[in-house]
Amino acid sequence: MKSTACFAAALSLVGSAVPASADEVALRFYSAQDYPLSEWNSNLYADVKKDNFNEWWFYTEDILELRSNSNPRVCLDAYPKDGKYWVHTWACDGANPNQRWHVDMANHRIQHATHPNVCLDADPTAPQHQAQVWECHSHDVNKNQYWSVVQEVGYLHRNGLFLTNTQRNDIEGDILFAALLP
């Protein structure tokens, strides 16, 4: 409730909200350990929250594309190699079946739309905190595939920064200006 009141007050101070594109939403994904999914140099990590633009993704549901905010020309991409599946970011290509993902907010899962039974996975024991893909399992079997989602529904823009609400999972958050978009 406090977040909503602060957001409304900030809206009255800075001007009108600019809605997110009708075909794309800004999302953050948090692992079961509350680590955000981030992209850096084409690699994926689930590591300590840094509140930077590497932790934001843009999802286009009609083409099932997850585009990196830190490098908007690359998308989440799972590919087969040596009998296994691997994940990284790769140049976005709407015709590339490796770049199609179902973001299932209700069931807290990010599942590949083309490769059968492949889910995004964050192993907290991985020394570099890299995210990976793995065979899909229920959360009681594999909590590494549990992802909570924070969705931005609109933006206030001032001096190159965007107003955002950090609330997630019904836990009170903060209202702050941050450089979310390139």
pLDDT at 113: 98
Q: Which domain range does residue 133 map to?
A: 25-151
pLDDT at 177: 66
pLDDT at 167: 61
Look at residue 64 and tell me if it is in a domain: yes
Look at residue 38 and tell me if it is in a domain: yes
Look at residue 50 and tell me if it is in a domain: yes
Look at residue 164 and tell me if it is in a domain: no
Look at residue 82 and tell me if it is in a domain: yes
pLDDT at 57: 94
Q: How many domains does the chain have?
A: 1
> Per-residue confidence of the chain (182 residues) as pLDDT tens digits?
444 444 444 433 333 223 234 578 889 999 999 999 999 999 999 999 988 889 999 999 999 999 998 898 999 999 999 999 999 999 999 999 999 999 999 999 999 999 999 999 999 888 889 999 999 999 888 899 999 998 875 555 566 666 666 665 555 667 666 665 44
Look at residue 84 and tell me if it is in a domain: yes
**Could you tell me the CATH number of the domain that includes residue 146?**
2.80.10.50
Look at residue 181 and tell me if it is in a domain: no
Instruction: Compute φ and ψ for 9, nearest 5 degrees.
Output: -65, -40
pLDDT at 7: 44
pLDDT at 176: 67
Instruction: Give bridge partners of residue 155 from the DSSP assignment.
Output: 18
Look at residue 66 and tell me if it is in a domain: yes
